[in-house]
Structure 1
Amino acid sequence: MDIKEFCLAHGFDMSKCAVALGGGSFVLVELKTSPVEFLSLAEDDFERGGLSALINATTNVKRAIICQLDQLLISFGYQSLRLDVRKR
């Protein structure tokens, strides 16, 4: 299976794809809140301590992971914000 067949089989929007002959880098879509911001909030909560802060830290780590996944999927042309977490 070549890359084009793979992309079509997995529903990638090929109209948003391009080939850079001189190489290049992959650019992620910017979101309102970045995964790094969620991690920073989690660190602040963790350092504050206490049960409530630890629960918030865990929630913000989960948000960071989901945000990173959304960022990647959106960059590949998926509408991941319409999917529930299990489908992502």
Structure 2
Amino acid sequence: MEKAPATVHKGVATRSGDWWMVTFKSLGPAFVTQGRDEEDARVMARDMISLMLEVDPGSFEMDIEFDETPESEMGVGRK
């Protein structure tokens, strides 16, 4: 029996001082978390999605794009 493909939640991580801020816009405005480094940001994102959607942390995949643009170059109107 073939296993059904896992749901993939796409997120974007941007620098905010010493932190990575991770957002999942497709899940709603409340789906924002942070981490000190990329690994911490991924762990926090998985925990957040799992808790807020009330699903097992292993039941989905994440595709997080880490934007390396320095804060000073982001500009005011950036989305």
Task: Please state which band the TM-score falls in when normalised by the shorter chain.
Answer: under 0.3
Rg (Cα) greater in structure:
1
- Length-normalised TM-score, structure 2: 0.27
Q: If the length of structure 1 is used for normalisation, what is the TM-score?
A: 0.25
